[in-house]
Every structure is written in structure tokens, then in C-alpha cells.
A and B are shown apart, each in its own frame.
Chain A
Amino acid sequence: LLTQSEAIVIYTGWERHALVGSDIRLSCSFFSWRWTSDDVTFSWSYRPDGARDAISIFHYTGGAPYVDNKGPFRDRLEFVGNPGRRDGSILLKNLDYGDNGTFTCDAKNPPDIVGRASSVRLLVFEKVPIQAGVITGSIIGAVLGLLLLIVVIYYLMRFLVARRVFNLSVRSVPLCLGLGPKPEPIPGLDTCMV
């Protein structure tokens, strides 16, 4: 009976998004309790959206990578992984809408060969919504900033007016007490009665 801890576990992404015409790196790595063997193999296969069967597009074995030279990715596939570090990533170049589909990575680390292959879904967009939320955030920020500004200005005005009134009332006090020379009365300001 083989328990889960003795099987190989393969990791890829869940879903990848890319722009038409761009390149994308599909990563694949694995966990295994054994040392990385010299006979480690990586296999990538591709199943287009809506198709029933998958086609093999990449295989690494015996220390050498073999890329697709007849299929949908001929001249567009490159091996950028490092099998010694358990990395079996591939690079797809110049993507098109026809590349939408599911990519499955299967890795084997002899004698650890029992495991479940892992799939990553590729979605190719015409344009990535790079502006998503930018305008929303700026409108909200502007309105709240304006609100804050109005509140600050209001309290500032109140503070300044109160201070001015306070200053003027302080200056009129010596007139009442009769101490020292009487300064010129400020026109428009009530002087207090002695």
C-alpha cells in the first residue's frame, strides 16, 4: 500500500493570463522524498479548449530536452527549466488565441514514479485590463480628499476668526483698567466703559 508521502507531487500554476503576442513561462516543479535522479523526466502536453485529446509538446529525458517540432508550438517552445533543481518550466512565445487551453505537466523521479500530473489553464486576452480600478480609486480619492479639505478649511477659518476676536478683545482690556497711556482707539471697535 503506497501512502501519499511516497508519491511524487507535481506543482504548476492553476491559471495563467497573457496578452496576444506576448511570451509566457509555464512553471512546473515537483516534490519527491528521493534525491533527484539522473533519469528524471518532464513531460508537457497540451489540450486545446474544447478538444478531447491532448498532444505531447515537450519531453525531457536522459539529460536532454526535446521540444515540439511538428505540432502547434513548433519554433515557439523553449525549455527554460533546471532539472537538477527540479524545475521543468517551458517558455511559450508569441501567443495567439488558438493557444487557449490546458497544459499538463508530468514529472517522474525514478524510482519515485507514482504521482498525479498537474494542469495549468492558459487564457489569452486581447488587452489586459491594466486600468481596472485606477479611475474608480482616483474618483473616490478625489471626492474624499475634497471633503477632508473642506473640513480642514472650515476648522481653520473658525480657529483664525476666534483667534482674531480674542486678540482684539485682549487689546481693549488696558483701556478699561486705565493702566499706562491710552492707545489710539481702534475705529469700529467697542471700547469698554470705565
Chain B
Amino acid sequence: MATAFSAPKFAAQPFTTISPTSQHKPLKIPTAASPFLGSTRKLLRLSSSSQLNLRRRSSGSVFAVSDVVKEKKPTPIPSLLITKEEGLELYEDMVLGRSFEDMCAQMYYRGKMFGFVHLYNGQEAVSTGFIKLLKQQDSVVSTYRDHVHALSKGVPARAVMSELFGKTTGCCRGQGGSMHMFSSEHNLIGGFAFIGEGIPVATGAAFTSKYKREVLKEADCDHVTLAFFGDGTCNNGQFFECLNMAALWKLPIVFVVENNLWAIGMSHLRATSDPQIYKKGPAFGMPGVHVDGMDVLKVREVAKEAIARARRGEGPTLVECETYRFRGHSLADPDELRDPTEKAHYAARDPITALKKYLIENNLSGEAELKAIDKKIDELLEDAVEFADESPLPPRSQLLENVFADPKGFGIGPDGRYRCEDPKFTQGTAHV
């Protein structure tokens, strides 16, 4: 079955992206002028900041959108990639992500948020493009840059904001923080501060899905897991260990690389012998796909295929999304090493602006409607901040709670009874 994801096809064509056309859509984007023709060529040229390159690159991206528009005007409806409802859903989710992160920065500089805060500005297309295709029982495993993954998966903005403020009404009662967002209801497994730590855990979640279907005989269990991680992680041993095992056992997982070219201050090109990450998939027996992570529609098309593949039981896929973070690695990062022309180039490819343009030019929506969504999100966030502000801090008794699921793990007290049976136990200090 020759799907667009057959591995040999990708090994032979390293410089083109998967075109959203596949076999079932008539819309053609001419590959010769594909905007992501040799994204690696772009990467290699970044060191020389020539004006000519800049213009070529930015014209390349504009070219893609206007090219789509040119094709569409004569034959309106059937060849669009999304419906109006889907379009508005995607727009709202990306605006929520962006505005939330901007609000986080504001709150951090006002002292309400503290510690390590890693913001997702600029990468919203990846989160929205993938997560909006999932069901509630599918899982998302993320890294410390997880606020927007949590929001896309359905965790309420109030809960995330309170968690960041360290209040007891947060999604983890203030015990996790920015880097450890967990929600069992929404199947969001945060939330790992260690690079590469989430990948084996995601593989385990996918393993559980397969185990439930095959051993526990829950016939309809086809839950898919998405593992999000960055370019720096792709040099870590655990990444390769999991590519091997996921392909070996054909687990229903999609490995999503958010390649934003920078790991704190380490450029991907300085750290990696072969910077084309998607090529590492076929080496382990799974398809490797490269996609423009600044375009939510392209990401969505690739995601549809990868998730469907996993659901059908065909195994894992490695998707490399070329994206960019507009802010520094974290709010404590002065972000001095990145070239301003590079930042400007990607700022011109802002995913929200691109989607807005697509919606308007294809008559899927109008300025007024989109502005109304912006306003709605603003109000939602104001409410979230107010809620978080007014929420109480965790009480002292919460310090010793939730260390164990079975609190007898605190052992036996001097009186011979289990410590946790003493009703005053959690009022004490941590000295046990």
C-alpha cells in the first residue's frame, strides 16, 4: 500500500516536504517552487546574512500562500483544506496559545510567576496542528515547554495559570509548576524537565495502548500517543532507544520533533553531525517526514496521516517540524546568540498571521469574526489571571500529601502505628 509515508520514498527525496495533496486532493502545489525546497539549504545559508537570500526566503513563503489562493479562486469549495469550523477552531487555539504565553511573560515580570518558564511563542502551529486531531483518550507527552500543549489538549486556562502561580487550584495543586503539567483527565503527561525523558514514557503509553488491545482484549483501544520534543533531544541516547523499540514492536506513537534550530544557545547545526532529523526515522524502519512547522495547515495534513497510521496499527512515524521560538529559551535567557535577521525571517512567517490570511482570502471568515475571537481569548485570559490571583496558596498540610499513592510508605511512627494514620501527620514538618 503506497501511502505518502513509505520509507524508501523519503530516503530518495530529501529536499521536498510531503505535499498536502497526497493522492486524494486535486490541489497542486508545484514542487519545484515549494517554499520548503531544501529547508536545509536555508539552514546552511543562515550564517551569511545576505539580503538576497532573505528576500528569496520570505518571498518563498508568501509564494506558497498566494499560490494556493491563485489556484482556489476559480473553483471555490471542494479543494480547501479545512472547513470554516475547523479553521476557526485552529485559529482560536493558536491565539489562545500565543496570548497565554504573552500573559505569562507579563506575569513573570510582575513577580507573580517564578522559577523556570519556557514559552512557546511561534511554535503554535505544531501544537494546534497535531493536538486538535486527537481524541480525549489519546495522550500527549511533552517537555518543559508544555503550557500550550496543555491548553491545546483541553486543560482549562484557569487551571494552567493557577499552577504557574503556584496556587492550590492549579492542575497539579501547585506541586508541579511550569515544567510539570499533568492532567489524567485530558491524558496530558506534562511535563518532563529532562531532555529526552518524555520519549520513553510516551513509548510506554503507546505500549499500554497496544497491550490493552492485544492482551487485555479491549478491542476498541486504538489510543495514539504523541511525543513532543526538540532538536537538541534528537542527539540523546534515549531518543534512539525509543525509535528502535517503537518500530520493533510497532507501537501507536508519533514522534514529533519541534526543530526550532536552537537548544538554549546551542545551534542545531553546531551540535548535530547530520542536521536532517527526519532521515533518522528510516534508519530504524519508520517513515521520516519533514514539514513546515510554521504553517498549521501543512502540519495538520501530515499529522492526519501519521496519526491515522498509528491508529491502524502500522507503527510509529517520525515527523520533523521546522519551527522557531520567537522568545528566548526561557524567560531568564537573554537570547543574545541568535541572529536578528533570522528572527525577523521567522517572524514574517508567523503561523497565526498566515492562517488569518488563509481564512480571509478563502472567504472562510472575516476580520470582524476573527477579532471577536481575539477579544474572547483576551477576556478568557483576564479571567484566568484573576482566578489564579484570587486562589489560595497551598495549605501547609499539603506538603506531605501525594508523595505516595499508598501513604503507608511513610512508615511506622514511634508509637508503632503507621504515620499516615495519625490525623495530625500532615500538620507536621517534612521531618519524618
User: A and B from one assembly?
Assistant: no
Residues of A bordering B, CB below 8 Å: none
Residues of B bordering A, CB below 8 Å: none
